[in-house]
Amino acid sequence: MSIHRALLAASALVLSGTTAYSGSDAAEAGDTYIISRDGHTFRGSHRIYDRMADGLVPVQYCGRSYWVRYATIAWTQLEVEQEFTVRVEFNRGKGWRPICDHPETQVTLQGLGIIDDPRLVVQNDTVSGEKVNRFSVIREAFRTTDEGPSAKTYHRN
């Protein structure tokens, strides 16, 4: 392989690292992400959504409503703690366009009433207040009070 081809291959590899990914899905035109950069170098991203879905919490960045995971909010805080730049960006199919600067000042875990350490939220992809013991919920659903005739059962006469 010639030096020219090796340089081209290396350039392509470096440039491909500037595309934002969330999980294993590549970003597509029309997607909105919070992107972390070190200067102009891409570090990472989290997708944010225009519609409600399970596991997402409603937030606002620069006056526009989005839905995000708690882990996204925590990750944003951690990136800023490491002195990286984060902002909301939109992919129009011709590259990334900024929508909103400093999302970390607009939405925080603490502002949402979450006191969990952001590292744990990112690692577990949940907050402790969200964990629900299913058996406790079922038990509560079938609990009766001792007031009135409807509370009596065959075994409690």
Locate 80 and state its tokens. Answer: 């800023």
Domain assignment present for 150: no
pLDDT tens per residue, range 95-119: 889 999 999 999 999 999 999 999 9
Domain assignment present for 152: no
What would the DSSP string read from start to end of 79-122?
HHHTT-EEEEEEE-SSSEEEEEE-HHHH--TGGGT--S-HHHHH
Domain assignment present for 154: no
Range with top average pLDDT, 6-20, 79-93, 142-156: 79-93
Domain assignment present for 98: yes
Domain assignment present for 2: no
What does the CA dihedral 105, 60, 28, 101 come to, rounded to 10 degrees? -30
**Terminal Cα distance for the chain, rounded:** 89
Q: Tell me the whole-structure pTM to 2 decimals.
A: 0.64
pLDDT tens per residue, range 117-142: 999 999 988 888 654 444 555 566 66
Locate 133 and state its tokens. Answer: 């013991």
Find where tokens 């992919």 sit.
91
Is the torsion defined by CA of 111, 116, 120, 123 positive or negative?
Answer: negative
Domain assignment present for 68: yes
Parent domain of 107: 18-145
Domain assignment present for 10: no
> Cα angle at 108 between 102 and 109, to 5 degrees?
155
Domain assignment present for 61: yes
Summarize the chain as % helix, strand, coil (round to 5): 35, 25, 35
Split into its structural domains, the chain has a count of 1
